[in-house]
Chain A
């Protein structure tokens, strides 16, 4: 609609504003990434040297069922986490959308409050809640149930991931729902649909682009989770980031760690591309 010139045409101010971030991205993101990429085609020489000889052996090693299993498990946990976040987060986002303006501020603040606390601290707090002598098991004990093994197992990992990632889904969901024209919901009610029916017939289809990007924003960090499986998980709860970390540290196999990192990154790209494709198709359908 606007007939204004794109402001990037103003070359001087554009350069002044964008040179610094561009350089920052180049030196602290693209260059290190390129180095890691190069490492992934090398082999370790002695303790500290890496010989970049163009070998694909690191990638071949990933095809080992042990690593495939870790990847599959990571994808599964990330997907499960995202799904549970949606189940928990959708009603929350809906409730915030329909609360009064004054309540809204406070509810959004509550959603964002965990970000003010360090992840490590929050994870330790969660351990205090879930451990055998923790709050949950204490309470279960009073009513004669349990104690249940709630910590250092796969349940604890998914529980922790849902807890950590929930705000990442609630916020984009809220912004998608808040943009909806209220009169569309009223029209649906007026035409005979109840509230639940209206949610599925009108709210979800219209908020779908927002829901999808919210799912992606939750899925990607969940897939690369390191701290949560490390602290809350048991011996069989490793996710891909834990394996990568081990390559760079204890195993001292940087080339293999680099290859794993890049496979993880390709998976992420794939997820983003899939979401982009769905969004594009929807747009095409609407026209």
Chain B
């Protein structure tokens, strides 16, 4: 396999006793759109700044293009950054901002003008050359920052929370536009964000960080469907967790006995040591059906052990969100379970309402078993 474009090896960054980044190993391939995702203060921005050379790792090393970046200042690295605040120079016009890096590099005037024009065209800012940053909207300023970084043709473009300062509509539009731009220029993008939707929608792969530790690196769908631990399961999307013990653990099935619930899955659990495990069940993977006195139970998969993958509950609350409705169901023992139902029809003869008795059921393929 080819050498990855960015290789991060055992990188730590400590501020006094506090480890902002704790022993991170990560490889990012050429041409990838990689997102570093995590709550604020998880160390993702510090990691990005170490790639840019604005912070120096306490331990470990960073290789870009196979070259050790130790001791190489930010101005000598083949990376450019789009800052969270955009950091557009207020005393320069759009044109001067975008041309700044080229002027510093001593690119000839004609070539500079041409490349600035290309970059402005790429971010759809043609005609704004002579404007000053205070005459631009936030979205336009961000485009200037993007053009200013891309015009230098970096090997890696670093984006620090690029969409966080934009309003919701613009953010949505910029998401796809950033992806299109990345596709066009073919530069490797490394983006930091706390917004999981943003990361899942834009990135090829995501790294989830918490408290300085890289929790999992995977494609968006793998992060969602195969979370590595409870933190990832909970941070990406919404999840119902059943804490319990493994009572059956065979190659083709496993049964988790949780307090008041039994979760059966159609695969064995690797690495389980007999301690506590968690079954993570996404709200949209739970089926909701009416429960009546003496009525039928909803069907379950063949071979499901008695009472597994099914819970009796009562609707306690629901939030109607247009395309879907989120139900909060109280199951036996007071356990609250979130269920998401798509509103596939405009109206239903028998909907679900407050205090209605319901059955919750799910397939053995739905729960993810977590060991930590």
Residues of A within 8 A of B (CB): 181, 183-184, 186-194, 197, 201-202, 205-206, 286-287
Contacts and interface: CB of A to CB of B under 8 A. Distances in A.
Contacts of B83: 183, 186-187
Contacts of B180: none
Contact of A191 (B91, B101, B134): B101
Given A286-B91, A287-B132, A191 B85 contact: no
B104 interface: yes
Contacts, number: 70
B91 A190 contact: no
Nearest to B151: A191
Contact of B104 (A181, A197, A205): A197
A9 B132 CA distance: 36
Interface of B: 52-54, 73-75, 79-81, 83-85, 87-91, 100-101, 104-105, 132, 134, 145, 148-149, 152
B80 A191 contact: yes
A286 B74 contact: no
A194 B89 CA distance: 16
Contacts of A206: 89-91
A202 B103 CA distance: 14
B266 to A, nearest CB: 50
A235 B91 CA distance: 48
Contact of B152 (A184, A191, A194, A287): A191
A184 B152 CA distance: 17
26 contacts: A181-B85, A184-B87, A186-B83, A187-B81, A187-B83, A187-B145, A188-B89, A189-B54, A189-B74, A190-B54, A190-B80, A190-B81, A191-B75, A191-B80, A191-B100, A191-B104, A191-B152, A192-B75, A193-B75, A193-B100, A194-B73, A201-B100, A202-B89, A206-B91, A286-B91, A287-B132
Nearest to A208: B91
A192 B72 CA distance: 12
Contacts of A286: 90-91, 132, 134
B55 to A, nearest CB: 10
Contacts of B105: 192
A176 to B, nearest CB: 14
A192 B132 contact: no
Q: Among the interface residues A187, A194, A206, A287, which one has the most CB atoms of the partner chain B within 10 A?
A: A187
A183 B91 CA distance: 14
A201 to B, nearest CB: 8
A186 B54 contact: yes
Contacts of A186: 52, 54, 74, 81, 83, 87
A192 B79 CA distance: 10
A158 to B, nearest CB: 33
A181 B73 CA distance: 20
A103 to B, nearest CB: 16
Nearest to A186: B54
Nearest to A193: B104
B337 to A, nearest CB: 45
5 closest A-B pairs by beta carbon, nearest first, are: A191-B101, A187-B87, A183-B87, A189-B74, A192-B104
Contacts of A202: 89
A187 B98 CA distance: 12
A72 to B, nearest CB: 35
A109 B100 CA distance: 38
A190 B74 CA distance: 5
A287 B134 contact: yes
A57 to B, nearest CB: 51
Contact of B75 (A184, A189, A205, A287): A189
B230 to A, nearest CB: 35
Nearest to A189: B74
A197 B52 CA distance: 18
A211 B75 CA distance: 27
Nearest to B145: A187
Nearest to B77: A190
B101 A192 contact: yes
B371 to A, nearest CB: 41
A149 B191 CA distance: 64
B142 to A, nearest CB: 13
Contacts of B91: 205-206, 286
Contacts of A183: 83-85, 87
Given A193-B104, A194-B75, 12 more contacts: A181-B87, A183-B83, A184-B90, A187-B83, A191-B101, A191-B152, A192-B75, A192-B101, A192-B105, A193-B75, A194-B73, A205-B91
A187 B104 contact: no
